[in-house]
Amino acid sequence: MAWTKNKLLSMLPESDTATLRQHFETVMLTKGETLFGSYEPFRHVFFFEGGLSSEIAGGDGTKRTEVGCIGLEGFSAVPAILGVDSTPHYAFMQCGGPALRIEISVLRAAIDSSRSLRDILLKYAHVFLIQAAATALANSRYEIEPRLARWVLMSQDRLGDQLPLTHDFLSLMLGVRRPSVTDALHKLEGTGAIKAERSLIVVRDRQKLEDIAGQAYGIPELEYERQLGRDWRA
């Protein structure tokens, strides 16, 4: 039986696992919990075993929008492994879940001593950057319905078919006002792709969602599999 549900950690060779496991602390992250703040020094990296985190750009009176989401396929504070100590972005949990927490200094020391660990984490950093670029492309090129379908698919990849996503969360993800989210949800529900209830979206037909999302969805997901060689979805 695997020692962790985190997809990246499960790829590591036993030599890396033996080194890291003694430094991990199992934590239960709650909905709304901040993982790191804007321009605040990183303290920990969280390797998720469940839940859904969001990295947000904007703040202090500017318009906020989500630039990336991470679940059990990855880890928080991606810039930390690139050698920087903080970022203008901030991150928090949209859906709570378990994670393995490790101090930044300990993880960096392990990266310095293990090429296999460094390669896996840097490949994931590349994939996360591809996801952020795909988000920017979707926000600039696509209407709200395919963008919403994309985010529902991304959430399903990490959480399964029942998604505890509020209208406020979807508004933040898409960078639009809440009434626009409500209208788009009704349109997706009308196709039979989803069922939208209060604070819950149930995926009924993934293929219909993929058809609606079109080319807005899929490039980061395929890049994960291309670089890391794994089907990572929940």
For residue 149, pLDDT over 70 is answered with yes
For 65-103, write each residue's pLDDT tens digit: 888 999 999 999 999 999 999 999 999 999 999 999 999
Q: How far apart are CA 145 and CA 6, in angstroms?
A: 31
Q: What is the pLDDT of residue 19?
A: 86
Query: What number is the average pLDDT over the span 27-55?
Result: 96
Residue 74: closest CA among 110, 41, 22, 35:
35
Model confidence pLDDT, tens digit, residues 118-142: 999 999 999 999 999 999 999 899 9
Q: What is the pTM of this model?
A: 0.94
Asked if pLDDT for residue 61 goes beyond 60, the answer is no
On the question of pLDDT at 60 being above 70, the answer is: no
9-138 is a CATH 1.10.8.60 domain: no
- Backbone torsions φ then ψ of 205, nearest 5 degrees: -145, 95
Give Cα separations from 123 to 28, 74, 89, 197, 214 (angstroms).
26, 11, 21, 37, 25
* Mean pLDDT value across residues 220-225: 96
Is 69 within 8 Å of 55 (Cβ atoms)?
Answer: yes
CATH T-level assignment (fold) for domain 143-222: Arc Repressor Mutant, subunit A (1.10.10)
> By C-alpha distance, which of 129, 99, 95, 102 is closest to 42?
102
| In contact, 150 and 42? CB cutoff 8 Å | no
Give the Cα separation of 154 and 70 in Å (integer): 9
Q: What percentage of the chain carries pLDDT values higher than 90?
A: 81
Q: Which residues pair with 46 in a beta bridge?
A: 101
In the chain, domain spans: 9-138, 143-222
- What values do phi and psi take at 179, rounded to 5? -60, -35
